[in-house]
Amino acid sequence: MAGEANLDELAKQLDQSLSLGDQHASTTVTVAAAGLEGISDSSVPEKRSDVESLYSVPSAVGSLSSIDEDIDNKAATAVQVPLTAYMPKLPKKATSLFAAAASPVHHIAHMIKNGAAKRIIVMAGAGISTDAGIPDFRSPETGLYANLQQYRLPYPEAIFTIDYFKRKPKPFFVLAKELYPGQFIPTISHFFVKLLAQKNLLLRHYTQNIDCLERMAGIESALIVEAHGSFHSAHCISAKCRKEHAQDWVKEQIFSDKVPHCTQCKSLVKPDITFFGEGLPQRFFELLDADFDVCDLLIVMGTSLQVHPFASLIDQVPRSTPRLLVNRERVGESSIGGIGFDFDGKHVRNTLHRDALILGDCDEACLLLADHLGWKEELLKLRAEFVAKHKLNGT
């Protein structure tokens, strides 16, 4: 009972620290809704494109998607966006999924509460992790790239290029020590996704992040697709060996300022992060067709949607599926081989309006949505329990 009281108090403190409480009018979030462009256009294929064949490039962009997005989101943290909600003026022939009298957030919450959305896919980028304190990469204040200057990188991104890693692995492992999972607490956004999972509403969580915060939050690994890999596992890079090495052993090597070498063949050992020059994990391609075919609500959070094939996934859901973007800026309004978001209804021709937009901090937006769902206290308590547990364990 005393423990529950402490958790409730901690939840209140978290609520206050996020400056939300009941003061939604001052929340730095902007809400909008709109629709899908040009469905009646003959240029749009009747059947959705296969992502793997559309982007059959041998090398993947890899973890730098999260790096670039981290920079974008960190750079925007000082920008205060006033809370506004609006519905665009729709063409007369357009049909909207959103009730005219309700905000898009309210309507999406209504869909979830009433069972109209029960196979939800969340796509996430670095924006859901910046509130955890994970540093960006290029800002001088973080010191991450500044600490690597001694290695005279030809360009900062070389540190995540597989060919450079094979020649000079040390810079990556210096950086990996700063970013290694276990040093950061999952955010409200991560726990919102966990809450969806607990309520059997989460079909899958697709993430570009390599920080493992979804796993730390307690989301089952079966529900996670780490599109650009993660620190969760590590293998020998030799094609003839590929021995998997225990995460604890790899961590001990990294934190001892050593370069991990395979215990079997002495080749380099690398965490299973997708570098430039490497393909995406097979799990990404194995699940996306079945997942996106049946998705009835797509939530996209904290991503610039500039890196393919991940960015193209927004176009893989059925045309009747609502799509919600939560981000600090508008993104994804055009996409390679697809339709993209159309938040203002500029390109709608006798079609269905299904896109909603929340501009602002991901954690604040998740609390706003949770409030509409009646889950806010439950969400805050979920994170408070995690924080209390880790404080007791000294982590």
pLDDT for res 257: 94
Distance of CA 375 to the CA centre of its chain: 21
Tell me the three state secondary structure of residue 261: strand
Before 140, cis peptide (omega within 30)?
no
Distance, in Å, from the CA atom of 154 to the CA atom of 263, rounded to the nearest integer, reads 31
Distance, in Å, from the CA atom of 362 to the CA atom of 368, rounded to the nearest integer, reads 10
Which residues are designated catalytic?
228
Q: Consecutive 10-residue runs of the chain (395 residues): their mean pLDDT?
A: 50 46 41 36 35 35 37 36 44 51 76 94 93 65 60 85 95 86 88 98 96 94 95 93 94 94 96 91 95 97 89 92 90 69 66 80 92 96 91 54
Residue bearing tokens 């995460």: 247
DSSP string, 136-175: -SS-TTT-TTGGGGGG--SSGGGGGBHHHHHH--HHHHHH
Q: What is the pLDDT of residues 256-315, one digit of tens each?
A: 999 999 999 999 999 999 998 898 999 999 999 999 999 999 999 999 888 889 999 999
pLDDT for res 62: 35
What percent of the chain is modeled with pLDDT above 70? 66
DSSP string, 35-64: --S-TTSTTS-SSPPPHHHHT--SSB-TTH
Distance, in Å, from the CA atom of 121 to the CA atom of 202, rounded to the nearest integer, reads 6
pLDDT for res 347: 63
Which residues, at least 6 apart from 199, have a Cβ–Cβ distance to it below 8 Å?
none
Domains of the chain in start order, with CATH, are: 2-134+184-228+274-392 (3.40.50.1220)
Distance, in Å, from the CA atom of 127 to the CA atom of 360, rounded to the nearest integer, reads 10
pLDDT for res 123: 98
pLDDT for res 343: 79
